[in-house]
Amino acid sequence: MLIYYRFNNFCSFHCESEFSMNAPTGKVKKRFPDNYVETTEGYDLLKSAVIVGENAGGKSNFINSLKYLKSLFVTNSQVKSIHPYVNAASLKEENNPVQKFELCFKAENGKIYVYQLHLNESGIIYEELQTSKKKNAAAFLIFRMERSNDEFLLEGPVGFRLPDPVLLNLRSGSIGLMVSKYALLGNADAAAAVDWVNNVLYPESLAADKSDDVIRQEADLRIQEDERYLEIFRMVDYSICGIELDKEKPYNKTIIIRKDENGNLFRRELQMDSTGVREFFAWAVHIFRVVYENKVVFADEMDRVLNPILSDRVIAFVNGAEHKGQFIFSTHNVLHLDLKTYMKEQIYFVTKNREQLTSEMYSLADFPEVRYETTKIYEFYMKGILGGTAFE
């Protein structure tokens, strides 16, 4: 499960931003017993969170920063900052600005990991992996690598020596993440961290056509054939009673079967159905991953065509089920600003400074004056008091 994510200098984000899935302490948790998971490691972690903000405010940039970080693990190719992803202000202020990423998470083996990566256009300049067994326990260093034009420092795991050609390349540049190299050499902690990023973390946006991604489509089909998937998909329209999957073109040619009050069946190809049904057919796969496979899914504008009632059904389903997954989604739907459904720590805002064109991320919990008895969160937001609105 994700504990926190920090990053800076990515697209519209200039200063360090933090997104936390830590549940609050104190009595407020008793009001929301289904909204978090108690872990044996001492963390109480939220099951869901919502990110609200205006168009072009930075919500997609936040999720894209995770996509970019994950891509470095997946491709395992040369790692360096990419000019379009570096904040424009920092490019003006610095000759070779540094991007920083930090992930803290509980891996499948039950250990807590903190992974840090700093990079610029020349490559990785700092990378570190630490682990601990409990919250507030002493951290154990797995490896640390620092590189500059003049120096190269590597503290690696005991018994894991990199071959000389690899060390030579590391001194002059980067041929992939250090954590991936140690994972390939058999270090269990590095392997656990790489596995979590590759197979648990899902920063997602809705692809118009998934037919060219055969491996991903195969994984989706496995879920769509599960009868529990239909339970989720039916949230979009309870007249749906079945599906007939087209395994070659599931997102176009799958047949959606509906039943009316008289028991009559109606069949329609998915591509001929409404936009909301077509999009939720894809998002339902990720909701399945959260609830039944304990994945951490970041969904970019999952409810852009879904009505508030369906959105509430999805969140109620995620929070009400027993699992160790997490579902975080960005939205324009201000009706999610509801302290009857969410804790303050589950509501995040992204707002853009119109003069500097930089984005800022913060939680509703950063506003101590907002109390749970307050019923005007929506009005506060629309008036610009909480930020994240286009006329701020």
Structure tokens that stand for 141 in this block: 């260093």
Sign, CA dihedral 298-134-23-364, equals negative
Q: Tell me the per-residue pLDDT of 209-267, one tens digit each, with 9 for 90 and over.
A: 455 567 778 889 999 999 999 999 999 999 999 999 999 899 999 999 999 999 999 99
Mean pLDDT of 340-350: 91
The CA-based diameter of the chain, rounded to the nearest angstrom, is 78
Number of neighbouring beta carbons within 10 Å of residue 157: 17
Mean pLDDT of 19-23: 96
The residue assigned the tokens 């997490």 is: 326
Q: What is the mean pLDDT of the chain?
A: 87
Mean pLDDT of 322-347: 88
Annotate 208-219 with b (16+ C-beta within 10 A) or e (fewer): eebeeeeeebee
Give yes or no for residue 348 having a pLDDT over 90: yes
Mean pLDDT of 178-197: 93
Sign, CA dihedral 358-17-299-213, equals positive
Decide if 45 contacts 326 (C-beta within 8 A): yes
pLDDT at 390: 46
Number of neighbouring beta carbons within 10 Å of residue 74: 12
For the chain, the domains span 2-22+58-201, 206-282
Q: 107-116, 129-138, 146-155, 238-247: lowest mean pLDDT where? A: 146-155
Strand 296-299 to 326-331 pairing: parallel
Decide if 255 contacts 246 (C-beta within 8 A): yes
Please, which residues bridge with residue 153 across strands? 146
Q: Tell me the per-residue pLDDT of 24-47, one tens digit each, with 9 for 90 and over.
A: 988 888 899 999 999 999 999 999
Please, which residues bridge with residue 102 across strands? 6, 116
Per-residue confidence at 311, pLDDT binned at 50, 70, 90?
Answer: confident
Q: How many Å apart are CA 344 and CA 339, to the nearest integer?
A: 7
Q: How many Å apart are CA 316 and CA 209, to the nearest integer?
A: 29
Q: Tell me the per-residue pLDDT of 72-89, one tens digit each, with 9 for 90 and over.
A: 998 876 677 887 888 888
Mean pLDDT of 317-321: 93
Q: What is the pTM of this model?
A: 0.90
pLDDT at 53: 81
Q: In what order do the strands lie in the sheet with 255-259?
A: 240-244, 255-259, 265-269
DSSP string, 48-77: EEEEE--TTSSHHHHHHHHHHHHHHHHH--
The residue assigned the tokens 């997954």 is: 325
Decide if 93 contacts 392 (C-beta within 8 A): no
**Side chain identity at residue 50, one-letter code:** V
Structure tokens that stand for 197 in this block: 């990023």
Per-residue confidence at 391, pLDDT binned at 50, 70, 90?
Answer: very low
DSSP string, 286-349: HHHHHHHH--EEEETTTTSSS-HHHHHHHHHHHHHS--S-EEEEEES-GGG--TTTS-GGGEEE
**Side chain identity at residue 54, one-letter code:** E
Strand 99-106 to 2-8 pairing: antiparallel
* Long-range Cβ pairs for the range 267-274 (8 Å, 24+): none
